[in-house]
Chains A and B, each alone.
Chain A
Amino acid sequence: MKDMNKLKVIVVAAVLIVAAIITVAVNPFKFNVNYSKNVRLEVYIEKDFEINDILSIVNSIYTNDDVIVRKAGALEKTASITLRDFTEEQNEKLISQLNEKYELKLTSEDIEIYYNSNVKGRDLIKPYIVATAIAGVLILAFFGVRYRKIGLAKSVGGTIAVVCLTQLLYTFLINIFGMYINEATIVVGITIGILCLMYLVATFEKLKAKE
């Protein structure tokens, strides 16, 4: 029975690893508009405006699913629109709707266009590497010392395996559901790791108490 359970765990883990590798290889991670290659359009509105109004105009014109609209400049009368891409036709529509709403006489040449390259994935991960590695070593040392009677293979090896598998599962889910990598992705992954480790401590504490 015990061997059967072990086999099930190994099979599930293997399937998960293979599935995660395949999905990431076939379907690379998608980054949100802020982190991906994007274009920032800037339009001087000349008047006070509400972000929501600009956002509704932008959403009605551009087919992007991920847009950032914010005010720019010291006077706060410039609208900054960050999107993945655009066409000339869309920009003309934008100008015509802005002219209509704010009674302006802008032309599409009044749109300043700034191209931004993507933020590198490694630049996002880099700040976490040292801290996570140090914390990881200390946590494993804690598991190794406190649960040494359970066996190092189980306490330390098991912990590494479980945390890696949950992270793989998280990666797999991000990918399979087409979720964007955004400002919260890494910290949510770390939080999942923490919860997983806390659950393992609770489990090992029970095992320790039994012994």
Chain B
Amino acid sequence: MKIKKNSLKKVTILLLIIVIILISFVGVYEKQLNKMVNTLPEYKFGMDFSDIREVRLNVREDTVTKYYDENGNEVDMPDDESESTNITSKEVPVNSEEKLTAENFAKTKKILEDRLDALYIEEYQIRQDENGYIVVELPENDDTDFYVETLMFMGKFEIKDSETNEVLLDNSNISDAFATTYSSDGKNMAAYLIINFDQEGKQKFEDITKTYIATTDEEGNETKKVVTVSIDDQTIASTYFGKTMSNGQLQLKLGSETTSSDTLLTYYRETLMIANSIRYGQLPIEYTVENQEVLLSTVRQDVVQVLWIIGAVLIVILVAYLIIRFNKGLLIGISWIGFIGMFLLLIRYSNSVITINSIVGMVVICIYQYVFLNAVLSNKQNRSFKEILAKYSIYAIPLYIIAVIFTFASKLAVNSFGMALFWGSAIMAVYNLLITKNLIDEK
């Protein structure tokens, strides 16, 4: 009776493993629009295996016309000729010679990296040559245009007197900037740009909020002293203040209030772009986009097929070794293939991104599982399954530590490796206790 029960258990587990293998390697198909479609989540690939956008940024070499009054102060372009009698114009290079230093090139690269990091872009590459020429490689997806726009902001922030154009506050006093959404009435939402000033900026801002206010004279006439807030010389707001603000924080509503989540998202992204552009300082050098090109994945189907075949052959050889060497080799071999299938399913469902690093991590886990299964079968010291599992779990403690720490890294190269090790270790423990142990009939 007991033998029958055991056989039934083994057959059930074997069937379960075969189902896992079939689902993982073949897929689950469903008819959709007269086509059979695999309903399993697709694998996600990193830049190593997918399309990229190459953006070429060149240092601007052109000139701009600047206007100066009789005192030599820079002024806005005159609207008509009558205004221009005392105004002289001059062609000046956008980037002066003094600006084009190695230090400024490096600073530009660092600011661009900070901006991309702030958008949580896990994978990108920036190259910069000795002349400052920059090539940025970004993952190609729906957000790539947004990333490119973020790179193109100069990040020049100014609060100016609307009449005299005197700069009252600029980038040098910003300590932080971010975007947020807020609803004043619980229904309509709006995107806000929040700018925090440093100690000196806090005082300056407080003075601005005291000076730039609306006043009413004895006859009831209202006079407004207005400031303009500009980013890259584009005015984003003209305002005066109703009360003194001593918290050193400027809150600007960008866009209108909306109940539509899509509209709000658009406003929020634009606000985020502005916040990111001023948060890390103004670019010391002006760049222009020379060229943008989508470069398709370097992965070729024929190469992928060859790799699958090599993988399959290796698995067959390793399973054949188990079958030849051990009595229960076939069972354990099937269990190992089932483990690989289960691991690949977990990679699909956990949204892990496949990179070269994660493939290395997956191979390490699969080999470690194989080594463990070998130890279970050879078991010279007659130890129980759980003892061997505990022993191998202790051996793998450095791997667990690296898996957990790397998983929390911000860059895909690191966290994809961590993820592969983490999910691999987790599935190894669960799979061995629930499947392998019962398959080889161990207590």
Contact = CB atoms under 8 A, between A and B. Distances in A.
Nearest to B125: A119
Interface string B399-416: 101100110111101100
B360 A184 contact: yes
Interface string B21-51: 0000000000000000000000000001000
Interface residues of B, number: 43
A55 B390 CA distance: 51
Nearest to B299: A70
A198 B399 contact: yes
Interface in A87-138: 114-119, 123, 127-128, 130-131, 134-135, 138
A138 B404 CA distance: 11
A183 B398 contact: no
B293 A73 contact: yes
Interface string A45-84: 0000001100000000000000011111110100010000
A202 interface: yes
B189 interface: no
Interface stretch (B126-134, B210-218, B242-250): B126-134
A60 to B, nearest CB: 18
Given A198-B395, A205-B394, A74 B294 contact: yes
A52 B135 contact: no
A52 B295 CA distance: 16
Contact of A68 (B298, B302, B361, B391): B298
A115 B129 CA distance: 10
Interface in A159-206: 183-184, 186-188, 190-191, 194-195, 197-198, 201-202, 205
B417 interface: yes
Interface residues of A, number: 42
A183 B354 CA distance: 13
A21 interface: no
Given A117-B133, A119-B127, A198-B396, A131 B406 contact: yes
B356 interface: yes
Contacts of A135: 401-402, 405-406
Given A117-B133, A190-B417, A197 B405 contact: no
A187 B128 contact: no
B413 A201 contact: no
A114 B405 contact: no
Contacts of A118: 127
Q: Which of B294, B398, B418 has the most CB of A within 10 A?
A: B398
Contacts of B402: 135, 139, 190, 194
B360 A138 contact: no
Given A135-B402, A138-B405, A201 B291 contact: no
A113 to B, nearest CB: 12
Contacts of B133: 115, 117
A138 B296 contact: no
Contacts of A128: 413-414
A131 B410 CA distance: 10
B428 to A, nearest CB: 13
Given A70-B295, A205-B394, A123 B356 contact: no
Given A123-B126, A184-B360, A71 B394 contact: no
Nearest to B391: A205
A183 B401 contact: no
B401 A139 contact: yes
B295 to A, nearest CB: 5
